[in-house]
Amino acid sequence: MTDAWAVETVDLKKSYGDTEALRGLDLQVPRGSLCGLLGRNGAGKTTTLKVLLGMTRPTSGAARVLGLAADNRSDSVRIRQRTGFVSEDKDLYDAMTVDEIVRFAASLYPTWRKDVEDRYRRAFELPHHRRVQELSRGTRTKLALLLALSRGAELLVLDEPTSGLDPAATEEVLQALVSHVASDEVTVLLSSHHLPHIEQVADRVVIVDGGKAVVAGPLEDLRESYRRIQLVFADAAPQPTLRASGAIRSERRGRVLTVVCRSGLDQVLAELRPLNAVAVEVMPMSLKEIFFESVNGER
Amino acid sequence: MPWQKSWLDTRWRFVIPLLVLVLNVWGLLFEYPRVAELLRTVQLQPDALSETGALGRAILESVSAERTYRGYVWYQWFRNNLSQLGTLMAVLLGSGNLLSGSTGAGTLFTLSLPRSRDAWVAARAAVGLGELLILIAIPSLEIVLVSPLIGQSYALSDAAVQVVCAFGVCAAFFSLAVLLSTIFVDTWRPFLIAGGSAVIVSLVESQLALNGPFRVMSGATYFAGGVVPWVGLTISAAIAIGLLYSAAFNLSRQDF
Amino acid sequence: MLFRLNPSSGVPVYLQLMEQVKHAVDTGALRSGDQLPGIRSLAEELVINPNTVAKAYRELEHEGVIELRHGSGAFVTAGSGRRKQTDKIRAAQEIVIGAIEKLRARGVTDDEIRRLFEAELAGLTRTGGQRD
């Protein structure tokens, strides 16, 4: 395990009684990247993030954040000194006012950045004396984000930061994240099921399904290696058994054969060439398509 | 800082009872002249009374004590009002989720802050016990200051010892509420269970005439013979500390 | 700077950005010596990952469209930069431009054109199949 990773987990497992939330998750997030953690509900995203923050103890396996052990009590305090967190429910003290909770948070971080706090107070238009429980969902999310961003943290761990936000608020939130990654050498790990948002700002993606990481890597690499190949035949399309390891699925409908290829396009094409298709198209795949090919269940 | 959160969570539970207790003392003291006059007309049959059980014993104790001002203060305030209200306040101050805010939300926010879980227990203990001590000490001090206004006097040394006795035992009930607060997520169950336990202990103690925590709390041996109940207080302190450690241990093992 | 990007279109974002910068240079919206926005501010403005902007800028510099002056920023090169490309690339570009114009004139959409090129490059359409 090296310190080049801002976050690293090795074979992370977590069971709650009979339920296995994580079944051996391997995750690496390099420093300075903006990494999207994707997966359906219940795939294990929130559990993973909670393990990283020391809120939940793993059943087995290792988790390291900024080089420190996430399941060690004193290391975990040190991790939290350098990490900003936003929970899925944007959990905050409802009875405090905006001012009170900001001052409370500021008192706990010697690295608190007043300039960042001021910037986002203005940009997010947060009302000083309104109680947290009276804020709209979007404003509450922005407040949670301000508290995380102003900590002067090296790592931001955000659970669904854009869920429930209108397009304008979403754009503001994403813009804040992009700005921080660019200027402050911050690493961002955010979980989401809004694929377009991730596609827009992430440079790295991890897809979690059934408690494991099924896809991981730089987003550009994924987009360059996933291809959908569509072959049209004069008569009924064949259903070949493809041996190339990069072909993950093939589907035949009438005269059209579709092959989804995850890597090694050339080998797959080499196997398809002898089939003598009438027309062939090789198309790139969006993150949404890549996601659906990677997780089990209904489309 | 963590203590700020504990203070914000419990301040109303502290300020309002403080006002209530201060007013209660005031009322008690200004009633003394009438009580004293009434008692002069009362004659008792001690033997017959002792045989009627707990209630009889209580009446006997009350009348014989209240023939003097010092006894009146001891019986009405330290033995009755403060013991009951003090225990109630202790349990109230100790109840309530240690990690969430006053509305019950914010647990994950607290856990994301750079403090160990022990720190949150320590903050609740420090602030709660501080508030408890003030709640017990200020009304008791008030007696010393206000007594001259009704032409009486109450020794500061007496008040000080009584405060120590009351605080020592109430602290144990406080700690019980804190431990229960790490087991139950809501505020009500720790309060009711700890409060209920206190009621049961007090009933058993009075029915069976035992030398139990409430007797130590009221400083009965000190009032009667100037003997400070050190053994009882030490046991109480040990229990309080043990319960707080258990609370911290329990909290550290939980998943959120 | 008005760039419009579509992260979900399947075309890599950095390529879209490169095309739009080059288009801006061609139409004169960007002239020689003009300064492009910094990587960070462009990423913020477009709300995309800064690495994507950085990659686009690097590739544009490689193609000679812009130059990155250390410490000052990104500037459009003199003579719109095409002079730095080799003759071969320039000639190839002219062939591509001509082909695309012809295809568009026949009503072939840009997406279809792209797919045809990709398929051809993948070497599939000449596998002895029946073609019209």
Cβ-nearest to A108 among B108, B113, B116: B113
Q: How far apart are CA A13 and CA A56, in angstroms?
A: 11
SS3 call for A296 = coil
CATH number for the domain spanning A174: value is: 3.40.50.300
SS3 call for C132 = coil
Percentage of residues in chain A having pLDDT higher than 70: 98
Strand A187-192 to A34-38 pairing: parallel
Chain C contact set for A278 (CB, 8 A): 129-131
Q: Domain check: are A269 and A158 in the same one?
A: no
Query: Looking at CA atoms only, how far is residue A73 from chain B in angstroms?
Result: 7
Sequence letter at residue A287:
L
| In a domain? residue A299 | no
Q: How far apart are CA A59 and CA A23, in angstroms?
A: 10
Q: Torsion over CA of A145, A150, A154 and A160, rounded to 10 degrees? A: 0
How many other C-beta atoms are found inside a 10 Å radius of the C-beta of residue A287?
24
Residue-level pLDDT at B183: 95
Q: How far apart are CA C122 and CA C111, in angstroms?
A: 16
Record: contact B4-A93, CB cut-off 8 A: no
Residue-level pLDDT at A259: 92
Which stretches within B95-229 are classed as H helix? 107-111, 117-146, 156-183, 188-207, 213-217, 220-225
Residue-level pLDDT at C84: 47
For residue C128, pLDDT beyond 50? no
Among A35-49, A84-98, A226-240, which is the least confidently predicted range? A226-240
Determine the residue of chain C that is closest to A179 in CA distance. C44
Q: Domain check: are A132 and A11 in the same one?
A: yes
Residue B108 near residue B256 (C-beta atoms within 8 A): yes
Record: contact A281-C119, CB cut-off 8 A: yes
| In a domain? residue A102 | yes
Tokens encoding A184: 């402050």
SS3 call for A42 = coil
For residue C132, pLDDT beyond 60? no
Tokens encoding A148: 């995380």
User: pLDDT tens-digit profile of C25-65?
Assistant: 877 788 888 889 988 889 988 889 998 899 999 999 888 88
Determine the residue of chain A that is closest to C52 in CA distance. A203
DSSP letter at B77 equals I
How many other C-beta atoms are found inside a 10 Å radius of the C-beta of residue C77?
19
Q: Domain check: are A153 and A288 in the same one?
A: no
Residue-level pLDDT at A270: 87
B108 touches chain A (CB under 8 A): yes
C125 touches chain A (CB under 8 A): yes
For residue A97, pLDDT beyond 50? yes
Count the alpha carbons within 13 Å of A295 in the hemisphere toward its beta carbon: 25
Q: Domain check: are A153 and A207 in the same one?
A: yes
DSSP, residue by residue, B55-78: HHHHHHHHHHHTTSHHHHIIIIII
Q: How far apart are CA B219 and CA C18, in angstroms?
A: 86
Record: contact B112-A80, CB cut-off 8 A: yes
Q: Which residues of chain B have pLDDT under 50?
A: none
Residue-level pLDDT at A29: 95
Tokens encoding A235: 């008569």
Q: Domain check: are A89 and A112 in the same one?
A: yes
Q: Domain check: are A16 and A143 in the same one?
A: yes
Q: Domain check: are A244 and A199 in the same one?
A: no
**Cα radius of gyration (chain C):** 17
Return the number of CB contacts < 8 Å for A and C: 88
For residue A253, pLDDT beyond 60? yes
Structural domain for A278, as ranges:
226-294
Length of chain C: 132
Q: Domain check: are A185 and A284 in the same one?
A: no
Residue B247 near residue B175 (C-beta atoms within 8 A): yes
Sequence letter at residue A33:
S
How many other C-beta atoms are found inside a 10 Å radius of the C-beta of residue C19?
13
Q: How far apart are CA A87 and CA A80, in angstroms?
A: 14
Residue A190 near residue A36 (C-beta atoms within 8 A): yes
Residue-level pLDDT at B124: 94
Residue after which a domain boundary falls, among A163, A196, A221: A221
In whole numbers, what is the pLDDT of chain C averaged over residues? 80
How many other C-beta atoms are found inside a 10 Å radius of the C-beta of residue B55?
10
Residue after which a domain boundary falls, among A205, A221, A237: A221
Q: How far apart are CA A175 and CA A177, in angstroms?
A: 5
Q: How far apart are CA B185 and CA A59, in angstroms?
A: 24
Residue after which a domain boundary falls, among A174, A191, A221: A221
- CA geometry: angle C99, C101, C102, nearest 5 deg: 65
Mean pLDDT in residue range A221-240: 88
Q: How far apart are CA A5 and CA B206, in angstroms?
A: 65
Residue-level pLDDT at A223: 86
CATH number for the domain spanning A263: value is: 3.30.70
Residue A217 near residue C86 (C-beta atoms within 8 A): no
Nearest residue to B124 via CA among B150, B106, B98, B88: B98
Instruction: Specify which residues A16 forms β-bridges with.
Output: A19
Main-chain phi, psi angles of A280, to 5 degrees: -135, 140
Q: Give the residue from B108, B110, B251 with the most A CB atoms within 10 Å of its CB, the best one to mutate.
A: B108
SS3 call for A235 = coil
What's the sign of the alpha-carbon dihedral B238, B242, B245, B247?
Answer: negative
Percentages helix, strand, coil for chain A (3-state, rounded to 5) are 35, 30, 35
Record: contact C12-A223, CB cut-off 8 A: yes
Q: How far apart are CA A147 and CA C111, in angstroms?
A: 45
Record: contact A85-B256, CB cut-off 8 A: no
| In a domain? residue A88 | yes
Residue-level pLDDT at C125: 52
Q: How far is CA B205 from the centre of its chain?
A: 16
Residue-level pLDDT at B48: 67
Residue C13: pLDDT band by 50, 70, 90 thresholds?
confident
Q: How far apart are CA A217 and CA A207, in angstroms?
A: 9
Residue-level pLDDT at C123: 64
CATH tag, C13-83: 1.10.10.10
Query: Looking at CA atoms only, how far is residue B10 from chain A in angstroms?
Result: 12
Q: Domain check: are A199 and A240 in the same one?
A: no
In whole numbers, what is the pLDDT of chain A averaged over residues? 90
Q: Give the residue from B112, B115, B249, B252 with the most A CB atoms within 10 Å of its CB, the best one to mutate.
A: B112
Percentages helix, strand, coil for chain B (3-state, rounded to 5) are 80, 0, 20
Residue A10: pLDDT band by 50, 70, 90 thresholds?
very high
Residues contacting residue A58 through CB under 8 Å, at least 6 positions apart: A12, A13, A14, A22, A51, A70, A71
Chains interfacing with C (3 or more CB pairs < 8 Å): A
Q: Which of residues 63-92 of C touch A (CB under 8 A)?
A: none
Tokens encoding A261: 């290829």
Chains interfacing with A (3 or more CB pairs < 8 Å): B, C
- What's the number of domains chain A is made of? 2
Which stretches within chain C are classed as H helix? 13-27, 39-46, 50-62, 87-105, 110-121
Q: Domain check: are A181 and A71 in the same one?
A: yes
Q: Domain check: are A183 and A270 in the same one?
A: no
Nearest residue to A192 via CA among A157, A147, A223, A162: A162
Among A114-118, A228-232, B25-29, C90-94, which is the least confidently predicted range? C90-94
Among A2-6, B41-45, C56-60, C89-93, which is the least confidently predicted range? B41-45
Query: Looking at CA atoms only, how far is residue C49 from chain A in angstroms?
Result: 5
Q: Give the residue from C124, C125, C126, C131 with the most A CB atoms within 10 Å of its CB, the best one to mutate.
A: C124
Residue B102 near residue B5 (C-beta atoms within 8 A): no
The residue extents of the domains of chain C are 13-83, 87-121
For residue C79, pLDDT beyond 70? no
B107 touches chain A (CB under 8 A): yes
Count the alpha carbons within 13 Å of B212 in the hemisphere toward its beta carbon: 15
